[in-house]
Amino acid sequence: MNLVKWLILAAVFCFSVSSSAAQNLLIYAGAGLIKPMEELKQNFEQKYKVRVNIHYGSSGELFGMIATGKYCDIFIPGAYKYTQDALKNGWIIQKSIKNLVLHIPVIVVPKGNPAHINTLSDLAKPGIKVALGDPKSPAIGKVSKKLLTNLGIYKEVLKNTKVLAPTVNQLLIYVALKQVDAAIIWQDLTAWAENKNKIQIIPISPQNNIIKTIPTAITIACKQKKLAALFNEYISSPEGLKIWEKWGFKPCSK
């Protein structure tokens, strides 16, 4: 949606709620999106005088909550697959889906790379201690399994895996504390993590990598569809995308 159209939508919304009580939204968002989402939320609340509540968790956890009937207005998982599955189940509105930014997997190691990790194949070497996302929970877990399976080394790496973490944020902590030699996480997380000075990034070769798209969508159950649509337009607007970029995310449009 171009800027003029977005401004028209914003003006219509402001007029429609000017005489009503404060409204609010409930959003389910991936744990790895917390930094940009918090800034986007605060800006939106200040601009439109509404309240936005965000529940953060692994994409699998959030998907499961919707599956069991938990209410939310907007669903923003860490990978498009969860949105696709939600659409197949009739839980989200198809025309509301917007692709926002990219999730790019990387290997992270403790500063100095003491185990000399250079490629994904190195994670399968005997004695290497690895942390992976749980394939049943965070989006990075599913992606990591696919990456390693494509190379034919998943079983070997799994033998070296000391922990299957429920969220991507925990993987970074294990590496920063030198409890493991390496983990696979999203590149954007390394741009803002408090312990980013304790880690080192090892890029995954483009021919082997699996880059994911982060989408947003309004749920069928949403009771504030105009407000939800305005929020989605804001976080995908030029102003919103600048905030995503600030926190290390690459917009899909670039």
Cα gap 196→238, rounded to integer Å = 27
Cα gap 153→179, rounded to integer Å = 22
The response to whether 20 counts as a known ligand-binding position is no
The response to whether 101 counts as a known ligand-binding position is no
Helix H or strand E encompassing 130: strand 130-133
Query: Which amino acid makes up residue 246?
Result: K
Cα gap 99→207, rounded to integer Å = 23
Q: Which residues are CB-neighbours of 214 under 8 A, at least 6 positions away?
A: 30, 33, 76, 77, 78, 79, 80, 99, 100, 101, 102, 103, 249
Provide the annotated binding site.
59, 168
Provide the annotated binding site for molybdate.
59, 168
